[in-house]
Every structure is written in C-alpha cells, then in structure tokens.
Amino acid sequence: MQPSAPPFDERLTAPRTWWLIAFGVGVACALMLLPLGTLPMLGGLAGGTVAAAVVVSSYGSARVRVVAGALVAGDARIPLSALGDAEALDAEEARAWRSYRADPRAFMLLRSYIPTAVRVKVTDPDDPTPYVYLSTREPQALVAALTGVPA
C-alpha cells in the first residue's frame, strides 16, 4: 500500500423515499392527535416529522473514508498496513457476502439499499476479524484508494 493513495470519502445516505416515509410518520402523528384539536395536530405533524427525520438522518450519516493512512468506516479506524487485498463486489456478489457467505467475525458496515460493496481482507495476525465488508456506491474508487492505484 502506498502512502499516496487517492482520497476517498463517501456518505452512505438513506434513499429519498425514506424521507417521504419520515413525512408520513409526521402525518400519522398528526392524525392521532386530530381529536385533541388543531394545535396538538400541528404539533404532532411537526414533532413526528422531525423525530422520524432525525432517525433517517442518523442512519444515513455513516461514512467510509480513506484518510491519513487509515480506512475509517463508521466508528472503526483501521490502518492501511493492517489490510490486505481489496475486492470490488457487484450486486450479486455483495448480496452473497452479506448473507450466506458472511463470516460472523467480520466487520460489516452495510446498507442493504446500496447494491455494491468492497471486501477487504484483514492481515493483522492479532485481529480475529477476517475481512471488512463496506457498502459503497463507488466500489472501484474505494479499491483504488485502498491500494493506492488511481481508478
């Protein structure tokens, strides 16, 4: 791995339809409070929408980055020196690695609404984690950043 790896930074944002669902939760809260009057109904609409939007936003705030000689995925920070080969996975392979091929010891930052992923072997002998599975919309760019080879 070369220190001049191309930078990579991706936020695993939630799909747009989830924001519509968050608004739908607000409408449902408003309808539940409708018998209490207009003001409680409006409060339910605002409060329910904001609460659901916070949940969607926090779930979609996961980031995958390659910075300062490390892979930062969610809360994990792994030095590039502890990583081995990186493999870009198409939609079918990604589905296999997050289901029947998955190892329970693996670190997985996955979002099922993102069809592609990258699997990176962990070469550190002191780490029981066999590989890191990362959902990404740009698997080739992430592999290039991890290997130091321009995409």
pLDDT of res. 150: 58
Is residue 96 included in any domain, yes or no? yes
Low-confidence ranges of the chain (pLDDT < 70): 1-6, 149-151
Measured CA to CA, the distance from residue 32 to residue 135 in angstroms comes to 37
Residue 139 domain flag? yes
Residue 149 has a pLDDT of 60
Assigned domain for 132 exists: yes
Structural domain that includes position 127: 66-147
Whether 111 is covered by a domain: the verdict is yes
Residue 2 confidence (pLDDT): 47
Does residue 128 form part of some domain? yes
Asked whether residue 98 is domain-assigned, the answer is yes
The pTM (predicted TM-score) of the whole model is 0.81
The predicted pLDDT at position 112 comes to 86
Number of domains in the chain: 1
The label of the residue with tokens 């990579």 reads 8
Q: Is residue 122 situated within a structural domain? A: yes
DSSP helix, strand, coil percent of the chain (3-state; round to 5) = 40, 25, 35
Quote the CA–CA distance of 140 and 39 in Å, as a whole number.
52
